[in-house]
Amino acid sequence: MNDFGNIRVKALPKHLRQYIVDQHYEHYTPVDQAVWRYVMRQNYTHLKDIAYYPYIPGLKAAGLSIEHIPDLQEMNDALGKIGWGAVTVDGFIPPAAFMEYQAYGVLVIAADIRQLKHIEYTPAPDIIHESAGHAPIIADPDYHQYLSYFGSIGAKAMYSAQDYELYEAIRALSILKEMPNAESASIKNAEDQVAFCQQNMGKPSEMALLSRLHWWTVEYGLIGSLDDPKIYGAGLLSSIGESAGCMQPNVKKLWYTANAVNYPFDITQPQQQLFVTPNFQNLIDVLEAFAAQMAFRTGGTNGLQKALDSKNTCTIVYSSGLQVSGTLTQFNDGFIRMTGPVALAVNNKQLPGHGKDYHKDGFSSPFGKFSSDKAIKVGNTVQLSFESGITLKGIVHHISEYLISFDNCTVTSADGATLFHPDWGSYDMAIGEHIVSVYSGAADKDSFEESVYIPKTTTHQPVYNEQQLALHELYRQVRFFRENPTGTENLNYIWDQLKKYDDWLCALELLELSPNPEIEAYLREKANNEPELCKLIWDGLRLIG
């Protein structure tokens, strides 16, 4: 893996590296470069007045240029100076992984760029959103402290099976909407699937609720006062449509408090309300209040219930420090059972001999205070009586700070049910009076998670026909002329060729280079006749002046 000479990227664990894809800078077409330039020029003009003040100098600090799509090496060179790194991925990645990248101080950037027809806004993550939206504000030290802290909290959030169903539905819809020839019926079906998942989430998981806080801050946050807020959210900073629309009176402005967690969001629609924080410290305060109620902080019965509901890999931490990673399938007063494979760890490092191979059939253990009928030492046959009513009888064959291992062991519940039988083999009993923490994922991820959750869909990679490639060539010639000005005869030739394609953006770039009444008349007529292009074209004409 190319770490770009960036210490943050180099430090990524292998389970996160599996999401990384090559940027393939050569795949960006001249049209892609023009889309980037148009959005960035509009942003520079518009956002200098309504964005939180570090945004414009933040562009330079993040290694971004208005003129061309950023190269990942350039970004890492710049971001490394402020303690961050960047990698490219294939579209939406699972929320838990996204959060963990933040915790490592690495910005996740979708390698693709939006189509020209989605130049104002796209529901799919793209390099404009991820780099021009997220990266510039990272230069603010208070904000990047919040971002990395959010990542460390989010990486431990419990999630549900419904969360992953919604994730796959949103990912599928975002990919479909960026496909050039997607049928409207297919898009409608995908939108219906997203709506169905949203309406059948049940009680929101920790990850679902935390995602709302992330959305209303990192993606769509405002800072300042209700009367005069400034933009810092990446979703607004990267959308030339919503960055203007969000300031209109019809979009409610509410103070950002813990109540924001009660507001779901829809990535396919403009937001009906936005939240304003007076400062970034308030973001940390709200996050801290939410984290205090999460299972990784509370543990106990509440945490175990969340683990049971998630039906996914989680880690249960005993008061001794022992971490048990697997899928919880049963718990009651003083007893847990996890199905295989299970691994045991301490301080996030797997205990020797207690990996998934050894505990392939699962792991169960009581917890709580107990008494023993005799001294617990190797070779003694002992009977342990737990306060919960569970009894354990067996021959001690190994004792450590975290485990007591028994041969010929029987574990019985308070009502007489057999929880472990001698025929099942040796028994490892966890030591600990309390369950102090429960969180999502494995303790030692690199040992436990040989392969990460891979999305069911892949982003669309376009294949261009001869006509499209010819249009790309005209865009390339315009860029070459802008960088190497010569006589305007070449521009006239390009305009004559461009008339075959009815392309407004290339025409706008030509007009920027040299006044041409015919091009201006074409653009004005197109703006008047095509409402969806009206604002885009007039904004471009205003920049030309």
Q: Which residue numbers belong to the known binding site for Fe cation?
A: 129, 134, 219
For residue 453, which phi and psi values (nearest 5 degrees)?
-65, 120
Written as six digits, the tokens of 218 are: 């990192």
Cα-Cα end-to-end distance for the chain: 46
Residue tagged 């390698």 (tokens): 111
Give the span between the Cα atoms of 224 and 255, in whole angstroms.
10
Residue 281 to residue 237: CA distance in whole angstroms = 21
Distances (CA, A) of 451 to 118, 234, 310, 445, 446: 34, 30, 19, 10, 9
CA distance 260 to 258: 5
Main-chain phi, psi angles of 420, to 5 degrees: -155, 140
Amino acid at 399: I
Binding-site sequence positions: 129, 134, 219
Phi, psi of 51 (to 5 degrees): -85, 155
Spatial separation of the C-alpha atoms in residues 261 and 498, rounded to whole Å: 50
Of 49, 79, 47, residue with least CA distance to 64 = 79
Q: Say if strands 314-318 and 363-366 run parallel, antiparallel, or are unpaired.
A: unpaired
Residue located via tokens 């280079």: 513
Question: In Å, how far from its chain's centre is CA 286?
Answer: 20
Q: Which two tokens stand for residue 149?
A: 């802290």
Instruction: Give the pair of three-digit tokens for residue 230.
Output: 């400034």
CA 115, chain centre distance (Å): 22
Q: CA dist 136 to 2, 55, 146, 446, 518, Å?
A: 23, 5, 15, 31, 39
Backbone angles phi, psi at 5, to 5 degrees: 70, 20
Residue 317 CB partners (closer than 8 Å, separation 6+): 299, 323, 324, 435, 436, 437, 438, 439, 443
DSSP string of 304-372, one letter each residue: HHHHHHH-S-EEEEETTSEEEEEEEEEEETTEEEEEEEEEEEETTEEPTT-STTTTTT-EEEE-S-EEE
Provide the b/e sequence for 93-132 (b: ≥16 CB within 10 Å). Answer: bbbbbbbbbbbbbbbbbbbbbbbbebbbbbbbbbbbbbbb
